Every structure is written in C-alpha cells, then in structure tokens.
Amino acid sequence: ESQQEEPEAAWPEYFEPGRYEGVPNEVYHAANGISSTQVKDARVSLMYFNARHVEKTIVKERSPVLDMGNLVHALALQPENLEAEFSVEPEIPEGAFTTTATLREFIDAHNASLPALLSADDIKALLEEYNATLPSQMPLGASVDETYASYEQLPEEFQRIENGTKHTATAMKACIKEYNVTLPAPVKTSGSRDALLEQLAIINPDLVAQEAQKSSPLKVSGTKADLIQAVKSVNPAVVFADELLDAWRENTEGKVLVTRQQLSTALNIQKALLEHPTAGKLLTHPSRAVEVSYFGIDEETGLEVRVRPDLELDMGGLRIGADLKTISMWNIKQEGLRAKLHREIIDRDYHLSAAMYCETAALDQFFWIFVNKDENYHWVAIIEASTELLEL
C-alpha cells in the first residue's frame, strides 16, 4: 500500500536569510537566529541568557492578564486581528438582570400579575360557612329532663321507645346517638393551608380544582442563585449579567481578557495615535507592513539573527521602520520629556533593537512612537534613532 504523503509544513523549520510576511508569533519566536531580545538578555548577564534561552530554566509564560501595551499594539497596528488574541468583556444587553434588586423587582411584578390564591383564612371562612349550614347534633342532656327534651325533638323513626314503656335516660340517649350518626360531619377548620384545602375538596372539589390550576407565586427570599433559578422557571430565555460575565471569565479559548474599561482606555490611546499628524500617517500609510520577519547573518560575528519591527514602509525608495511603545510618564515636565525618553531608550536597549532592525531589514530610518498610557493623558512623541544612538 502506498503511504499518504504528509502535508508540507506552512513554515520552514529553518529560515534562510530574507524577508517573510505573516509568520505567526509562536513560529517566529521558535525560529533560528538570535533576536534583539536575546541580545538584551545577554547584556543583563550571560548567566541570565543561559538560564532563559539555553537551559530554559527561566520561562516567561504568556499571561491571560492584560498588558495594555499589547492591546494598544493590536488596535494601532493590526485591529483586524484583535479578536484572535483578545476576549473583550461582553456588553450587558438592556433588560438583563444585573443585581439582586432587579431580580426581586421582576419576581414581585410576576407575583402581582398572578390570580390571587385563596389564603388559609379564606379557606377557613368557606369551611366555617359550610359548617354553619349543617344541622346541629342533638345534645344528650345532662339530666333526664334534658335528655327527654332532646328525645322529643327526634324524627319519629328515631323515637324507638314504645309508648307505655319507661323512658330511661340510657334508652333515650341510644336513640339520640343513632340519630346524630346520620347527620353530616362538619369539616375541620384548623391546620395548614394544604390541610384546609383537603377539607375544602370534600365539600367543593370544583373550587379546589380551579385553585390547583393557578400558578404559585415565586419565592422572594433566598440567595441570589435561588432568585435566578426562580426567574428562570418562568422565563428560561432571560439574560443574566452574572452568567454572561462568568462565561467570559472562564476563557475557554485562552485569550487575553479585556474589560470594557480597559478597551475604552485603549481606544482612546488609539485615537490619540491616529490623530497625531506624524504618527497617524505612519500607522495608516497605504504602503505600510506590520510584523514582517527578517532573517540574516551578522557580518561581524557570523551569527544568525532575526528581527521583527512593528512597522515598516517604503516612501519613494526610503525604507522607514518604527516601533510603537506605550509608556507611563504622567509626571514628567514637557521640557524634560525628550531627554527622559532618550534615557528610556538607552536603559531598555531600544537602540540595540533599532540597530539590528536597520541592518537586518535594510531600513534607512527608524523611529520610536511613544504614547502615554495613563488614563485620559495620552500624549504622543516620536523619536528618531540617530546615527549616534544606533552606533552605541
């Protein structure tokens, strides 16, 4: 039997020097070649580099906790890929139940719309009214005279003592008892509502049947979960905010969770970037390309290298690259901001990355687009990588 050929891999196991578009993050980070991040780690210490990249005893795992920089990066550079990486908190639709108070409000309104059930007092009154229509039992009497008076009131068929015979109390009471047994027994008028309903069914089964057709009111006490189940019992399609948010937090796809507030902040940052006269043109230029991967050989060392600038574009033969950086500098005075950003570039070795970008990706100019991420204070600053910086 001929064996089925395995499908070719979408990406090579070894990347030859060159330019590659659309390489997935996981493929790029596992590919051959030293990245600028690895060079930066070596500059921390060779021990750290060895632990992280050789022995891999230091593992930096992707966290589901939002990094605002990553979200802004996606919105500014690749908004079309936002849903693939991030899971945005669902909007709560109008009319959804959000609090215990809204649940209770629904339950109260539902209960008020139901036909009223007979209360225990209502049922008791009906039973007492029925009992009042029944003929009273004849008293046995506490004396012979009282007993004789009751005996005389019996229907003739129960006056069984022959005339001329002595009317003893015992004989008369026997006749009275015989008569009383034939009388309908009164129904009980005490007990729970259910017990009273059982008595009412004896004398008015139709009314009890009608009562059984009525919907019982929902319980208004218990935990929030109890109230949710009560509402679901009469409206299974109802939307609960808690359930929507719980499903979102379960995050079965392992995406980065983004709250509505975080998204709002990121969208404001995106707006500030796009409205900036220079940053906006770079980020929306028709010839721009984002996250393009380059592989090459360092001429001085012969080492394989790889780089991935955030943004590149060709303007009349001039190749320009840029990296987008979110930063928190709300308390830096405006006149000292540029110097502070230059210090940030040196401290974080951004200039090293830029030098590798320019050499490996053949860029003529390189810029950093800084944007402040502090709430409602999103200034934008653009710094060019000077020759002096690139040579450091």
pLDDT of res. 153: 92
For 192, the token pair is: 């729970």
Question: Which DSSP string do the residues of 212-269 spell out, in sequence order?
Answer: HHSPPPPP--S-HHHHHHHHHHH-TT--BHHHHHHHHHH-TT-PEEE-HHHHHHHHHH
pLDDT of res. 1: 45
Is the confidence at residue 336, as pLDDT, over 60?
yes
Q: Is residue 112 part of a domain?
A: no
pLDDT of res. 102: 86
pLDDT of res. 94: 86
pLDDT > 90 in the chain, percent: 59
Contact 368, 382 (CB under 8 A): yes
pLDDT of res. 61: 65
Q: Is residue 86 part of a domain?
A: no
Q: Is residue 38 part of a domain?
A: yes
Question: Which DSSP string do the residues of 290-301 spell out, in sequence order?
Answer: ES-EEEEE-TTT
Strands 365-372 vs 318-327: parallel, antiparallel or unpaired = parallel
* SS3 assignment, position 63: coil
pLDDT of res. 136: 87
Q: CATH number for the domain including 328? A: 3.90.320
Higher pLDDT pick, 236 / 17: 17
Q: Is residue 316 part of a domain?
A: yes
- Give residue-wise pLDDT tens across range 35-44: 999 999 999 9
Q: How far is 151 from 146, CA to CA, in rounded Å?
A: 9
What average pLDDT does range 230-236 have in this prediction? 86
Q: Is residue 98 part of a domain?
A: no
Average pLDDT value over all residues in the chain = 89
Q: Which of 9, 87, 107, 69 is nearest to 244 (CA)?
A: 87
pLDDT > 70 in the chain, percent: 95
Q: Is residue 213 part of a domain?
A: no
pLDDT of res. 96: 86
Spell out where the chain has E strands: 18-20, 86-88, 256-258, 289-290, 293-297, 304-307, 311-315, 318-327, 365-372, 380-384
* Beta bridge mates, 320: 313, 365
**Domain housing 356:** 18-61+276-391
Q: How far is 78 from 73, CA to CA, in rounded Å?
A: 7
pLDDT of res. 391: 66
* Beta bridge mates, 365: 320
Is the confidence at residue 2, as pLDDT, over 80?
no
* SS3 assignment, position 320: strand
pLDDT of res. 4: 52
pLDDT confidence tier of residue 13, bands split at 50, 70 and 90 = very high
Q: Which of 336, 334, 328, 333 is nearest to 374 (CA)?
A: 328
Is the confidence at residue 3, as pLDDT, over 70?
no
Sheet of strand 311-315, all strands in order from the earlier edge strand to the far edge? 289-290, 311-315, 318-327, 365-372, 380-384
What average pLDDT does range 192-221 have in this prediction? 89
- Give residue-wise pLDDT tens across range 185-206: 899 999 998 999 999 999 999 9
Higher pLDDT pick, 67 / 299: 299
Question: Which DSSP string do the residues of 53-105 spell out, in sequence order?
Answer: IIS--S--PPPSS--HHHHHHHHHH-GGGHHHHEEEPPPPPTT-B-SHHHHHH
Contact 330, 377 (CB under 8 A): yes
pLDDT confidence tier of residue 20, bands split at 50, 70 and 90 = very high
Q: Is residue 47 part of a domain?
A: yes
- Give residue-wise pLDDT tens across range 357-392: 999 999 999 999 999 999 999 999 999 988 776 665
- 131 phi, psi to nearest 5 deg: -60, -30
- Give residue-wise pLDDT tens across range 266-323: 999 999 999 999 999 999 999 999 999 999 999 889 999 999 999 999 988 899 999 9
pLDDT of res. 17: 96
Is the confidence at residue 152, as pLDDT, over 70?
yes
- Give residue-wise pLDDT tens across range 56-65: 898 876 665 5
Q: Is residue 202 part of a domain?
A: no
- The tally of domains found in the chain comes to 1
